[in-house]
Amino acid sequence: MAQSGSPWPFGVTGRISLSAKDAWNLGILGAKARDADAKPGVQTAGRRVVFRGRQENGGDAGPTRLRVDILFPGGPAEKAGLELGDVIVGVRGGPAFAKGSLAPLAKALTKAESSKGRITLIVERNGKRLELVVKLGKKNRDIAKPTSIKGRRIVLDRALRWLAEQQVQDGGFPETLSARNGAIVQACLAGLAWMSGGSSLRTGRYRDNIDRAAKFVMRYVSEPERFPGGSAGGPSWDQTNWGHVHAAIFLAELEARSNSGIVRRELTRICDIIAKRMEKSGGYAHGPGGPNALGYLELNIMTGLALSGLGCARKAGIKLDLNVAKKVMAYLETSGSADGGVAYSGKPGQKGQGNIGRTAAAWLGARNLGLGRTKWGQKMGSYVASHSDDVLNGHASLMQHILLAGVAAQAAGTTATSKFWEKMRRDLVLARAPDGSLQPRPWHESLAMGSNSDVSFGQVWTTAAWAIVLGCDPKTTSKGGLPVWLGRTKPRGRR
């Protein structure tokens, strides 16, 4: 069993709490670590110590010395004798950690899995240096190439099984950030992941999981949130737009596979709600009800996701008022950057600052709405193609940028997809855990801010998002992929 004080995956028992730790996952070693040279500090809600007054650049090279904070129960690292507090300073026969540990460790793990199935860690313990041989299992050249088609298939299969094990009886998932609204988002992403692996309401290993997830989403997506909603003239705490836009993407992909009257009616209703909730500017907020507690209304990650949801619905055969989409596009163009990047919002100081996640979501929607060849649509497409590997310079949730950039890169073509995987290969290797889940990680913005929303969302969020990226390419599976969101041919099984 894991040593006392180090429950997997965030160092706390039960639901994610204010003392949850955010740490670098060390791949299938089954260990998480933080900067051994950082000053100690109180960890709250995914918070961490700041990097000794410094901030990493967009490369996110990682610490040069990794202090082990969490161990996976019975995992390879624990079986090999790695202990809490040990400091990993290198790997025998591998690159040094002098310029950061992440790339050298990922390279060493990849080499180990493709050859002898073991890796030797150089560890400092109580002032002494020792070597620990960690057995990773039998060599597997396919899994050692996780961004190849065969490698993606293996990682995807394990992630899909893990997600099925986490699903609760009502079809949702244990609540983390945003309570039930957050569980709705996770159910939608898990459903998309299972479909990308080739399952549907009719066939496949996960057809029952998809059915239960869909029923959960349709039952709860429009229920009022269960925390205070603000008072007249006060801030709005309603964040239910997140549930609605993800539900539109999920149910559209599902409708195209199942041709279900129930799903179709619910998808139509959700799209009507999304259309009505557009703000006067053409943008979208967390939810209806006006500015939130931070004083802002529109945020364009939501605006882009709204376009994606409406676009997927249109591809699934739902009739829409395209004037809504055109107004959204005009707003994005007015607030966006000259090169086609979608800005954070339309407010002064937040205009013209594009990034890949926001742009990817909006561009995917624009294409499916027939607006991809407009002047602004083409600019967004060019931005996606040229920035598909710029994930680490996103904002707020790193995992959300990985998800949206990965799907958009696949839609943009071979060059964009290759750029994306060339940059993200390291992170995929290090995200893997012994149980098949894919874990979140710190990154330069969250280290500077002292907060990581991916930790607060939890490992279901991260695993489902990675699984979608792995499976959205129809080449990964014979009957999978996400052709509706990608704007390609209709999925198999449509009547």
For 14, what's the count of Cα atoms within 13 Å in the CB-facing half-sphere? 3
Strand order in the sheet with 31-35: 24-25, 31-35, 66-71, 87-91, 118-125, 128-135
**328 or 238: whose pLDDT is higher?**
328
Q: Output the CA–CA distances (angstroms, integers) from residue 406 to 227, 261, 383, 387, in the order listed.
A: 33, 31, 14, 11
- Per-residue confidence (pLDDT) for residue 49, from 0 to 100: 34
Mean pLDDT of 217-221: 97
β-pairing verdict for 66-71 and 24-25 = unpaired
Distance in angstroms (rounded) separating the CA atoms of residues 51 and 389: 25
342 and 307 Cβ atoms separated by less than 8 Å: no
Mean pLDDT of 314-326: 96
Domain ranges of the chain: 24-135, 149-486
* CATH superfamily placement of domain 24-135: PDZ domain (2.30.42.10)
Distance in angstroms (rounded) separating the CA atoms of residues 492 and 10: 39
- Per-residue confidence (pLDDT) for residue 114, from 0 to 100: 85
213 and 251 Cβ atoms separated by less than 8 Å: no
Distance in angstroms (rounded) separating the CA atoms of residues 158 and 161: 5
Q: For residue 291, how many other CB atoms are within 10 A of its CB?
A: 15
pTM check: above 0.85 = yes
Q: For residue 55, how many other CB atoms are within 10 A of its CB?
A: 11
* Token duo for residue 361: 């979501």
Q: Tell me: pLDDT of 224 over 80.
A: no
Mean pLDDT (the chain, rounded)? 89
Q: Which tens digits make up the pLDDT trace of 334-378?
A: 999 999 999 998 888 888 889 999 999 999 999 999 999 999 999
Lowest mean pLDDT among 33-47, 303-317, 335-349, 463-477: 33-47
Termini Cα distance of the chain? 50
Which amino acid is present at 196?
A: S
- What's the CATH architecture for 149-486? Alpha/alpha barrel (1.50)
**231 or 295: whose pLDDT is higher?**
295
Percent of the chain at pLDDT exceeding 70: 90
405 and 416 Cβ atoms separated by less than 8 Å: no
- Per-residue confidence (pLDDT) for residue 40, from 0 to 100: 57
Distance in angstroms (rounded) separating the CA atoms of residues 19 and 12: 7
**394 or 126: whose pLDDT is higher?**
126
Distance in angstroms (rounded) separating the CA atoms of residues 310 and 317: 11
Q: Tell me: pLDDT of 15 over 60.
A: yes
**448 or 392: whose pLDDT is higher?**
392
Q: Which tens digits make up the pLDDT trace of 230-255?
A: 545 567 888 999 999 999 999 999 99
Distance in angstroms (rounded) separating the CA atoms of residues 50 and 451: 10
User: Can you tell me which residue has the tokens 């990608």?
Assistant: 486
Q: Which tens digits make up the pLDDT trace of 53-99?
A: 333 444 589 999 999 999 999 999 999 999 999 999 999 988 889 99
Residue 75, class by beta-carbon neighbours within 10 Å (0-12 exposed, 13-18 middle, 19+ buried)?
Answer: buried
Residue 426, helix vs strand vs coil: helix
